Amino acid sequence: MKRTVNRPKSGQKAGVGESAAAFRSTFGERFTALLNLFPTRAVAGEIAGVHPDQFPKYARETVKVPLQVVAKLAVQKGVSLDWLVSGDGTMFTSGDSPTEQDGDVVQVPVLDIRAGAGSEQWVVDEAPISTLALPRAFLLRNGIRPAHARLMFGVGTSMEPTIKDRAPLVVDTSDLGERDDIYVMRRGSGIIVKRLQHLANGSVILKSDNPAWGPETLPRDEADELRVLGRVGLVLQSI
């Protein structure tokens, strides 16, 4: 799938059927279209919290676009992040024109939780450190209950290519492991992110998407000690 905002499915590949250069050019055109919704580049820069001189660099991709910049601009004009990042769907999240209604935006708490895609990571405080504004429709479209959305981070390479090292993860904390999927879990005092597969005998298998990492089977007593923090509904990666 040719996107940098990924639904975490196994076997997913980015850029299939489209060259990297073509994808960058397409994003640049969409990013410019978003900027054109603002009266001036200075206004867009004030909203995004960056100097307007950065915008041409972002459009040409000579530097990476911070996720926060994209989200702030898209939310302000009701532009779909799916469309902006990948070209999928329509430009606007509702109807055929921008919307700035507060109900269309969710302030997703950002937690200082780094889930280990490999070895466990350690967390002392799970209190929010900031928020990230995301369109409500964008979360719902990806199966995430807005009131239970939390942003965490994956660290390590065992879940590549689905989850890159240090990728932001939008986690639905209302889904506590009812199905086989990718979950952020507390294991002992550490935090991990893995595919969780339930077996009939009560044991579970922790799987990695990176073939260099083999699966791990936990017997029922160890499986019962896992604390699921939520399901990974989206992987947000730098554009």
* 151 neighbors 132 (Cβ within 8 angstroms): yes
Return the beta strands (E) in the chain as ranges: 5-6, 105-116, 121-122, 128-135, 149-155, 167-172, 181-187, 190-198, 204-207, 216-218, 227-236
Of the candidates 188, 215, 210, 204, the one whose C-alpha atom is nearest the C-alpha of residue 120 is 188
Q: Which one of 3.30.1360.70, 2.10.109.10, 1.10.3720.10, 2.30.30.60 gives the CATH number of domain 103-236?
A: 2.10.109.10
Q: What is the pTM of this model?
A: 0.59
Q: Which residue would you say has higher pLDDT here, 104 or 121?
A: 104
Q: Where are the domains of the chain?
A: 5-100, 103-236
* Mean pLDDT value across residues 95-106: 51
The pLDDT tens digits of the residues spanning 42-75 come to 888 888 889 999 999 888 878 888 888 888 888 8
CATH 1.10.260.40 assigned to 5-100: yes
* Mean pLDDT value across residues 126-149: 83
Per-residue model confidence (pLDDT) at position 219: 94
The average confidence (pLDDT) of the chain is 78
Residue 179 and residue 149: Cα distance in Å, rounded? 18
